[in-house]
Amino acid sequence: MNAIQVENITKTFPGKRSPAVKEISLALEKGKILTILGPSGCGKTTILRLIAGFEKPDRGRIILAGKAVADDTVWVPPEKRGVGMVFQDYALFPHLNVYHNIGFGYRGKDRKERIAEVLELVKLSGFENREPHELSGGQRQRVALARALARRPVLVMLDEPFNSLDAELRGRMRLEIARIIKESGTTAVFVSHDQKDALAISDQVMVIRDGLSQQCGSPQEVYRFPENSFVANFVGQSNIMSGVIGEDGRSVETGLGVIPCEHLHDCRPGEKVEVSIRPDSLELDERGPLLGRITCLVYTGESYEARVDFVGEGGDRMSLLAHVHPERTVKLGDMVRMKLLPEFVAVLGCRPATCQVPRSAGTGRGAAD
Amino acid sequence: MIRPVSSLKRGWAVLWRDNPPGAALLFSAGLTALACAVPAFYVLERSLSAGRGRWQGLLDTRIPQLLGNTLTLAAAVTLIASVLGVGLAWLVRKSDLPGRRAWQWLLALPLVIPPYVGAVAYIIILGPRGWAREIFGERVFDIFSFWGVVFVLTMFTYPYVFLICGAALKSINRNFEDVARSQGLGTAEIFWKVNLPFMRPALGAAAILVSLYVLSDFGAVAMLRYSTFTTAIYYRIDGYDNVSAAILSVALLALTLIVLGIEVRARGRRRYHQTSEVFLPPRPVKLGRWKLPALALVLAVFACSLLAPAGVLVYWASLGIARGALAGEFWRFSANSVGVAALAALAAMLLALPVVYLRSRHPSVVSGLIEKLSVSGYALPGVVIALGLIFFFSRYLPMLYGTFALLPAAYVVRFLPQAIQTGGASLNLVSPRMDEVAKSLGCSPGKVMFKVIVPLVTPGLLTGGALVFVSSLKELPATLLLRPPGFDTLSVRIWVEAGEALYHLAAPAALLIIVLSIPPLKWLLARR
Amino acid sequence: MRIIDLTTAGLWVAVIGLFLPGCGPRPDPSAGELVVYSTRGERFVQPLLDKFESETGTRVRALHAGGATIVNRLKAESRRPRADVIISNDVGALEHLRLRGLLRGFEPEGIESIEARYRALDNSWFALSARTRVLMFNRDLIGREEMPRSVRELADPKWKGRFAITRGGNSSMIAHVSALRREWGDEKTIDWLAAVNENAGAIMRGHGEIRRAVGAGEFAFGLVNNYYFHQQLREPRNNNVDAIYPDQEEGMMGAVVNAAGAGLIRGAPNEKDAESFLEWILLPENQREFSYASLEVPVNPRIEAVGEAAHISDYRVHDMPLSALGGVWEDTRLLIERSGLALELR
């Protein structure tokens, strides 16, 4: 059974023309982690607030652990939903110490044991009597998570949880939080604008833009086979070219020639499509078929980011971004030969993207719908 | 039938931006707002029910006279207090005046002296039988004159300008001054071209505060036998000519609204933002040969606004205490004062919470209106509030009319804004995420209020309560008009005894009020 | 920061808690309570009320205010009276209230000690002490010969700024104007009031303030009740004052006399205590106290007057019967208001 299932929810805020969230559907199995990824203002936090019950959807249905909590007739207030929240600023109660923060909503008889248990889980045993202001950023975050987990929520949701941490701590906390969630066996929804968060910890990623779902899938799927140019550029860097699907159905004809392609997104031969070429799939090769001039070169430490101008078959110029191994010596203005690796070349979807909701037995609507 | 109901529901949701408050919250905040609107409403209603003749009679002669008196007084006090306040603020914040840190606190201290107490002190010093006459043999200055009133009111209101503009000056980034200096501007030019424009919003706010104060002051003006709207209204009510009082009150309220309107317009036009992320503390300007004159000015202001009145009061209080002024009576008056002020403070704290919470967590036209009504008291002079309450209670709650319940009611209407301001400031520091986390942890809205909000805003509310307490303690005109027989407070005693020139009896009460006012002022200063 | 805030707050709560028990009216269940409205100087009346309180155990709550305030307040409260007794320094006000049906008559013990012309027909009020309107002057500033002989002269511009009077809402002032109206008619009285309003150097809250101001030489003279003159004479300093009884010459109206007394409010909430208070105050000892506190002349001839106070028989008085003041009280008040004198202090 899905821990959370959202069906076609739409939300327009009063006084606004366009909906903040439009026809969003998603589903997540118990114990999995989903990241809702998108630029700021894309509506991802609204989805989270809709699920938590801080906002009411205009249309659609939200089902938590098999029970509808919001649809045309049902409305369950946030305090009765059993959804744990971790906010960006953690929102620890400043008037309570760690122990009482974690035990805030817990009413069971085993309160003491449960608090000790979650403290153990987040590795903060012995911090019970600390006040929130005596904790470091990472510790506060773990307390906030422990507080959300203490009540054994159906679902825990984290809103940009790593935003206020510096880069180094961010990397560590990412893994630590993922560990805690996995260990506790909880289902989790993250909201983030950082693709690294999403790719590192998620079982599922959902990319959102302007309130509309752009793509759903595993991190690998989303990175390797972006549905559209927005996803291709938002999740990693990408070069977008137009082309036509080859007769064999395994390649695309572009200005750079025929490119082998692994994923065609159900597009048929002969169809005009766009192709995403990751900078990593362009590699220096003495015998490569492509000849171009480096017009811009940025050294990032991990690699060179080089902009290479190619002259296509039809004579038109094309400027592509390529990653060059930092050991190679290249200069601005060099003429270089390159080849294309098919692993990171993908045809973008030629139809509007939809997120497929995996139907499971026991939820409201039948499969025939 | 279902459609209109659902569209009504939708409209309600849209009104509250999809975040409607609970019934209990809306009801308590709404009731508070209505209660605060009662005095102004009934004053207006009564004035309209007065016949044309009554209006005509007052409009012909009395209102123009009072308008002239009141406006010239407000203009003179505001102008002088502004110049003085800005000058002192500049000296204390921007120059190398000796003892700058101490002056920051000392020059704000006159705020603890209620102007009517200051007036008493200056009647003792400069009055026709005053010390000055004894020392110099003749009257140096007639305190019972227009300029006498201006002097007294200025001495006890300039600290508003001093504090607010001082804070603004302090927050001006030095970068701007450094840029100006690098472009070859001198200190005076920097003051006119950099400091003053930056201070303008603050100065405007402070000037409005001072003018509103002058419009509403009764005690000092009455003690110095000057006529303004407040004294005219007071004596009309005193003579039970409530209808004329209502007409004069409406004229005064119109004047107040005009002043407030000026503020809103001025605020809308100019707003400055500090652009730089880096903040450098200001570098003091060297006063050079101006150091001594500047110090003399600061000392003179301090002497006039604090040392002299405080000295007079201490002298008379010690005389009074030696003659047994601290008898049982005195403590009974003190207990009355403290008790009724404490009641008002408690009520203000309780009433402020729903208003503040509604405004912060459920923003909408309705909650904005509720807040505006609830803070309208700060523009209502005490005499007008008293008049409105007299109308309301005698008509609708006659069993309470003439009891001491009217006093805390008047204080709450008048001073609730102070509790709302401090409570609101402290609630603004509590992220709405706190509420949401608590809800996600299973707390109902009521429980969120008591387990999260109340503990977190209690310090702010208590500070507000302390401010209400002190303001109520000092309040004079409404207390005089509304107190039941036999219920005298410290402020009433100061009025009565000073009127009889029994200064040894007035001084201990005045000193007690001043001493009780110091702790909340410390809080105000800490915030600035 | 927050902890510091909390401790200061705690301190405040403690201070408030300390005072709170003493606050508010505390009715003592064993003894009664009495509400007195008084238009006489608080300084003269309060000691008497305290004496009553300590002798009988009845708690007295007093409201001291101006004559117009008290009379109008009693009228406003007539449907639900809050006061039991009124003490007034103007018999006219008492009679006015009686005519309006706001006082109730009874037969107090000891009432026969007061002459009939000094009490109401139904004994709902009675006078205890008499006073005369005089012009008190500072001898350093003006000689007896220079002083105006008649109150009429106060309208003369030559006195501009040199004298002080009370507000028009003052009881003694109202009674005085009633007498002037009877003598001069309304037209002339209004002109006089307007001129005096223009001429007066100060319009003060009460006569106590005037006597101090004149004593200190702030003004050459002031229009006061005669006992204020005696009081100023007793001051350790600033006592070089004298008084003239105005309008004494042939054909003049004579000095205006008034009396202070007490009355019983109809529908008084504490009727029994009110009656016992009025009987208590008629005891010779208390009649004496009533007059002596302010240095007035007792109405009861058997009570000896204070030494320096001049006897009514020593000078010419206006012939208006005191109770006649009652019928015109309201008219006079309105007339004063129309003239502008009832307004604020100056």
Residues 6+ apart with CB under 8 A from B515: none
Q: State whether B500 and C43 contact (CB < 8 Å).
A: yes
Higher-pLDDT residue of B57 and A292 is A292
- The DSSP string of B136-148 is HSS-SS-SSSHHH
pLDDT digit string, tens, across residues A342-361: 778 888 876 555 555 444 43
Q: Which residue of A lies nearest to B442 if distances are taken between CA atoms?
A: A79
State whether B442 and A53 contact (CB < 8 Å): no
Report CB contact under 8 Å: B487, C206.
no
The answer to whether the Cβ–Cβ distance between B484 and C60 falls below 8 Å is no
pLDDT, residue B220, reads 95
Where residue C10 falls among pLDDT bands split at 50, 70, 90? low
B431 touches chain A (CB under 8 A): yes
Q: Report the distance separating Cα C20 and Cα B337, nearest Å.
A: 10
Residue A358, pLDDT score = 47
Write down the pLDDT at residue B1.
Answer: 43
Distance between CA atoms of C108 and C119, rounded to whole angstroms? Answer: 12
Closest approach of chain B CAs to the CA of A366, in angstroms?
30
Pick C62's closest partner by Cβ from B238, B241, B486: B486
- B440 and A148: CB-CB below 8 Å? yes
Q: Does B137 touch chain C (CB under 8 A)?
A: no
3-state secondary structure B82-129: HHHHHHHHHHHHHECCCCHHHHHHHCCHHHHCCHHHHHHHHHHHHCCC
Q: Which of B160, B474, B493, B200 is nearest to B305 (CA)?
A: B160
Note the pLDDT of residue A369.
Answer: 34
Against chain B, the chains showing at least 3 CB pairs within 8 Å are A, C
User: Which of B129, B339, B500 minimises the CB distance to C19?
Assistant: B339
8 Å CB contact of B14 and A14? yes
Please say if the pLDDT value at position A86 is more than 90. yes
Whether C206 and B523 lie within 8 Å, measured CB to CB: no
Backbone phi, psi, residue B141, to 5°: -155, 130
State residue C205's pLDDT score: 79
Name B508's bridge partners: none
Question: Are the CB atoms for B361 and B370 separated by under 8 Å?
Answer: no
Q: Could you give the CA distance from residue C345 to residue B347 in angstroms, rounded to a whole number?
A: 35
Contact criterion met (CB < 8 Å) for B440 and A81:
yes
User: Which residues of chain B, if any, have pLDDT below 50?
Assistant: 1-2, 275-277, 528
Instruction: Please give the structure tokens belonging to residue C319.
Output: 């012939």
Separation CA B355–CA B29 (nearest Å): 5
How many CB atoms neighbour CB B482 within 10 A?
28
What distance in Å separates the CA atoms of residue B196 and residue B86, rounded to the nearest whole number?
A: 9
**Domain map (residue ranges) of chain A:** 2-224, 238-347
- CA-based end-to-end distance of chain A: 19
> What CATH number should be reported for the domain whose range is A2-224?
3.40.50.300
Inter-residue contact B130 to B142 (CB < 8 Å)? no
**Separation of alpha carbons A125 and A119, rounded Å:** 5
Inter-chain CB proximity C6 and B462 less than 8 Å: yes
User: For C24, which of B227, B339, B465 is closest by C-beta distance?
Assistant: B339
Q: What is the pLDDT of residue A366?
A: 34
Closest chain A residue to B448, measured at CA = A79
**Lowest mean pLDDT across C167-171, C206-210, C212-216:** C167-171
Query: What's the helix, strand, coil split of chain A in %, to 5?
Result: 25, 35, 45
Q: Which of residues 6-65 of B touch A (CB under 8 A)?
A: 13-15, 17-18
Mean pLDDT lowest for which of A50-64, B339-353, C26-40, C324-338? C26-40
Between chains, do C169 and B239 touch, taking CB under 8 Å as contact?
Answer: yes
Distance from CA of B417 to the nearest CA of C (A): 19
pLDDT 10s digits, C232-262? 988 888 889 999 999 888 888 888 888 899 9
**Residue (of B473, B461, B389) closest to B418 by Cα position:** B461
More confident residue, C145 or B485: C145
In this predicted structure, what is the pLDDT of residue B9? 80
> Does C337 sit within 8 Å of B334, measured CB to CB?
no
The reported pLDDT for the residue numbered C263 is 95
CB contacts, 8 Å: B486 with chain C? 25, 35, 60-63
Alpha carbon distance A20, B18 (integer Å): 13
Q: How far apart are CA B414 and CA A210, in angstroms?
A: 49
Contact C312, C168 (CB under 8 A): no
Identify which of C24, C167, C238 has the shortest CB distance to residue B404: C24
User: Of B368, B357, B364, B349, whose CA–CA distance to B434 is shortest?
Assistant: B357
- Please give the structure tokens belonging to residue C2: 């927050």
Which residues on A lie below 8 Å from B18 (Cβ)? 13-14, 55-56
How far is residue B365's CA from residue B504's CA, in Å, rounded to a whole number? Answer: 53
Judged by CB atoms closer than 8 Å, whether chains meet at B500 and C209 is answered as yes
Q: C6 vs A268, which has greater pLDDT? A: A268
Q: Is A126 left (phi over 0), alpha (psi -120 to 50) or beta?
A: left
pLDDT value at residue B297 = 94
Q: CA–CA separation, C331 vs C319, rounded Å?
A: 20
> pLDDT per residue over C21-66, tens digit each?
444 444 444 457 899 999 888 888 999 999 999 999 899 999 988 8
pLDDT of residue A96: 92
Helix or strand (DSSP H, E) at B155:
helix B146-171
Q: Specify which of A35-49, A154-168, A258-272 reaches the highest per-range mean pLDDT.
A: A35-49
**Residue found by looking up tokens 């300093």 in the block:** C237
Contact C68, C243 (CB under 8 A): no
User: Does residue B442 belong to the interface with chain A, where contact is any CB pair within 8 Å?
Assistant: yes
Decide: C35 and B486 in contact? Cβ < 8 Å.
yes
* pLDDT attached to residue C26: 44
Q: Nearest chain A residue to B452 by CA: give it.
A: A93
**A78/chain B closest Cα distance in angstroms:** 6
Neighbour order of strands in the sheet with A304-311: A282-284, A335-340, A290-299, A304-311, A317-324
Contacts of C64 in chain B (CB under 8 A): 496
The residue assigned the tokens 């039988």 is B129
**Which of A55, A56, A79 is nearest residue B442 as measured by Cβ atoms?**
A79
How far does chain C reach from its first CA to its final CA, in angstroms? Answer: 50
Measured between CB atoms, which of A14, A55, A79 is closest to B439?
Answer: A79
Strand, helix or coil for residue C84? coil
pTM for the full model? 0.84
**A86 strand-pairing partners:** A158
* Residue B286 contacts A, CB cutoff 8 Å: no
CA distances (Å), A191 to each of A51, A64, A197, B465, in order?
A: 12, 18, 9, 42
Q: Which of C1-5, C105-109, C211-215 is the least confident region?
A: C1-5
Q: Is pLDDT larger for residue A269 or for residue B365? A: B365
Interface size, chain B vs chain C, as Cβ–Cβ contacts under 8 Å: 149
User: What is the set of domains in chain C, with CATH numbers?
Assistant: 31-130+258-310 (3.40.190.10), 131-257+327-339 (3.40.190.10)
Q: Which residues of B446-478 are buried (b: 16+ CB within 10 A; e: fewer)?
A: eebbebbbeebbbbbbbbbbbbbbbbbbbbbbb
B227/C20 Cβ within 8 A: no
Which pLDDT score, from 0 to 100, does residue A356 have? 52
| Region A39-65 average pLDDT | 92
The SS3 call for residue C134 is strand
List, in order of start, the domains of chain B with CATH numbers: 20-49+323-528 (1.10.3720.10), 56-275 (1.10.3720.10)
Query: What radius of gyration do chain C's Cα atoms show?
Result: 22
Is the Cβ pair C19, B469 closer than 8 Å?
no
pLDDT of res. A7: 93
The nearest CA of chain B is from the CA of C288 a distance in Å of: 24
Rounded CA separation B458/A331 (Å):
66
Cα gap B511→B474, rounded to integer Å? 11
Q: Looking at residues A57-84, what average pLDDT do you find?
A: 91
